[in-house]
């Protein structure tokens, strides 16, 4: 068993300062000290060889990281051995670093290994679709398609209040009790002058187009684009290829990989950058997986910063668990893609303009294996 590194009643250094060597408990040059004793100082293994009961090759001897493999009852996720979390999820623990240690969501998975030239080709074809097609219909789905999504959304809205609102969602107390890594960003506590209801705000398209700091192509941002996935929409799959506005833009595998590439966002370079970043709320949505899912257990809260980085939270009402949502808006196409928690296979995409509407069709990529159509249904602020 490891001994405490401080005396009872003290934290950090010993009273009067550390003794030479800066090693807690190390007292060199005391009378009777044996400087040449094997193992004095940092013990690389067995400090007392050949002593009865000595175990020179014991796993983990020496610098013990807290991981003793193959030992009966070994618990790999025991506190002290959680590489992906800074805190131990203790109630009341408020160290800000606990929000900044998600290592998976910031790393692109191997299956999405798409090179830059392929991404450029996809963007070029996508922009050709904008130019060559009838731009008058890009901002809106056809009457039948809009009616389809609206009918699906009404099924959720008409049943949502029966499922139960919880009016304290996204307040300071809610965040403190729903620990999850945020990829380094601080959107959850940005500008405490805003109350919990700030995260239910409905954004206006005009405000969004003036929000970003980038210089975007005129062809892509001259008017909003409503992405409508599936048969009859403007994003369709045929013969393992993806068509946007009738223009072939990529293979199905390339399209999925490009979504994951867009959604994989580097963390901020410093705490100062994270704290200074401003966020515009995109609202709170129910996540419906199909038309029969009229009482969804999943809700999604989203926000976007001035560089187009999306952050948010996927909250499971049934389990009371929260996960990070993180991604980015593509300035070339208005495409928005984001990842969920530590899952390396699932990536979702929609259009930025979709997220200003009452319903936002959502395309879910399960790696390169398959896609499914979900619907984000905007929820009203609870009374």
Q: Concatenated DSSP letters for 17-66? A: -PPTT--TT--TT-TT--TTSTT-SS--S-SSTT-TT--TT-TT-SS--S
What pLDDT is recorded for position 96? 41
Backbone phi, psi, residue 349, to 5°:
-145, 150
- DSSP category for residue 149: H
The pair of structure tokens assigned to 95 is 């160290």
Which value, in Å, is the radius of gyration of the alpha carbons in the chain? 27
What pLDDT is recorded for position 275? 81
The pair of structure tokens assigned to 188 is 């959850």
What pLDDT is recorded for position 336? 98
| Closest by CA position to 61, among listed 74, 78, 52, 48 | 48
What pLDDT is recorded for position 360? 96
Rounded to 10°, the helix 252-263/116-132 angle is 110
Backbone phi, psi, residue 281, to 5°:
-70, 140
140 with 226: CB under 8 angstroms? yes
Residue ranges per domain, the chain? 110-378
Positions of the chain with pLDDT lower than 70, given as ranges: 1-103, 133-137, 161-167, 181-184, 186-194
The secondary element (H helix, E strand) that includes residue 161 is helix 143-163
The secondary element (H helix, E strand) that includes residue 141 is none
107 with 259: CB under 8 angstroms? no
């Amino acid at each position: 068993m490891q001994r405490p590194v401080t005396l009872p009643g003290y934290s950090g250094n010993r009273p009067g300062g550390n003794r030479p060597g800066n090693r807690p408990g190390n007292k060199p040059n005391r009378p009777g000290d044996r400087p040449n004793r094997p193992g004095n100082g940092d013990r690389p293994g067995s400090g007392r060889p050949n002593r009865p009961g000595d175990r020179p090759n014991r796993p983990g001897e020496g610098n013990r990281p807290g991981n003793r493999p193959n030992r009966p009852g070994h618990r790999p996720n025991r506190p002290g051995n959680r590489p992906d979390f800074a805190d131990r999820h203790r109630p009341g623990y408020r160290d800000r670093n606990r929000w900044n240690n998600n290592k998976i969501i910031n790393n692109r998975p191997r299956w999405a290994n798409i090179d830059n030239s392929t991404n450029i080709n996809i963007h070029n074809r996508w922009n050709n679709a904008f130019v060559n097609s009838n731009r008058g219909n890009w901002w809106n789905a056809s009457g039948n398609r809009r009616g389809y999504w609206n009918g699906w959304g009404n099924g959720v809205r008409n049943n949502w209040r029966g499922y139960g609102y919880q009016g304290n969602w996204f307040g300071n107390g809610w965040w403190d009790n729903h620990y999850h890594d945020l990829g380094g960003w601080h959107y959850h506590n940005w500008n405490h002058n805003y109350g919990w209801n700030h995260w239910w705000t409905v954004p206006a398209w005009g405000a969004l187009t003036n929000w970003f700091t980038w210089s975007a192509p005129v062809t892509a941002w001259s008017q909003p684009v409503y992405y409508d996935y599936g048969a009859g929409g403007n994003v369709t799959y045929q013969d393992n290829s993806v068509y946007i506005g009738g223009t072939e833009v990529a293979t199905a595998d390339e399209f999925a990989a490009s979504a994951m590439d867009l959604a994989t966002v580097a963390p901020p370079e410093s705490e100062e950058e994270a704290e200074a970043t401003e966020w515009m709320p995109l609202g709170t949505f129910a996540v419906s997986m199909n038309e029969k899912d009229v009482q969804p257990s999943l809700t999604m809260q989203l926000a976007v910063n001035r560089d187009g980085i999306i952050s948010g939270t996927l909250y499971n009402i049934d389990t009371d668990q929260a996960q990070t949502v993180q991604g980015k808006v593509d300035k070339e196409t208005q495409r928005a893609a984001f990842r969920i928690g530590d899952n390396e296979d699932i990536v979702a995409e929609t259009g930025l303009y979709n997220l200003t509407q009452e319903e936002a069709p959502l395309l879910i990529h399960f790696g390169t294996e398959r896609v499914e159509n979900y619907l984000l249904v905007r929820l009203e602020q609870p009374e």
